[in-house]
Structure 1
Amino acid sequence: MSEVMDYKSRLSDPASRKFETFSYLPAMKPEQIKKEVEYLVKKGWNPAIEHIEPEHMMSSYWYMWKLPMFGETDVDRILSEAEACHKANPENHVRLIGYDNFSQSQGTSMVIYRGKTV
């Protein structure tokens, strides 16, 4: 049996914090983000974008960037909204959420733009 790794993520060290799907991996490249959005759309999930200051990501709700994009299937439109959120809030983490209508929950949630860490 393999040994379990400690990822050294601590509340006292904002730069070490891990969050959401894929946070233990290097930041995604634009083409990887696009593939994730394509998957979200293919599953029929409703995209939504949220953002927050890195120092508050663990202690409060994230801010919603506009309303969820119910029924949106245009990948480029979803990506442009995420980029607009990032440009308007360059210091913040920006995450993409896929809401699943049938299970009434999040099908996926991932940080696609990372803000500055202290």
Structure 2
Amino acid sequence: MQDYQSSLGNTDSRKFETFSYLPTMNAEQTRQQVQYIIDQGWNPSIEHTEPQHAAGSYWYMWKLPMFGETDVDAILQEIENCHAAHPDNHVRLLGLDNFAQCAGASMVIYRGKTV
């Protein structure tokens, strides 16, 4: 098992969820993850925060969750819109499960600029 050297003082080293331990997803892999969220019946939600605050539990919500949205391109466009509006912030996608009342998926799509 590999020890990932991660610290609060080094924002480049921080890990946020399972996918952050893997190589960065390309556009097709991101599309597949969005499709998976839709296939599970989860509601996509987009959040963002400054890199220095990413370890906290509060991220800013980008609009309301996309309740009932099943168009992958519409979801990807909202991710792009959030990133364009906040280019220095981390942007993550959540798949909110109505029944379990939790996030069934959470992944950082864009990492913000570190200071």
- The verdict on a shared fold, with TM-score over 0.5 as the criterion, is yes
Structure 1: distance between partners of 2:113 and 2:25: 16
Which of 1 and 2 has greater Rg?
Answer: 1
Tell whether 2:62 aligns with 1:70: no
Give the deviation of 1:26 after TM superposition: 1.9
1:84 maps to what in 2? Answer: 81
* Aligned counterparts, 1:1-118, within 5 A: 4-118=1-115
The code of the aligned residue for 2:114 comes to T
More deviation in 58-67 or 34-43? 58-67
Flag structure 2 segments of 5+ consecutive residues without an equivalent.
Answer: none
Structure 2: distance between partners of 1:59 and 1:103: 23
- Deviations 1:53-72 (CA, angstroms, capped at 9, x unpaired): 10111135100000000011
The code of the aligned residue for 2:80 comes to E
Taking structure 1 as the reference length, what is the TM-score of the superposition?
Answer: 0.93
Aligned length: 115
The code of the aligned residue for 1:49 comes to I
Taking structure 2 as the reference length, what is the TM-score of the superposition?
Answer: 0.96
Give the deviation of 1:13 after TM superposition: 1.1
Asked whether the equivalents of residues 21 and 111 of structure 1 are also in contact (C-alpha less than 8 Å), the reply is no
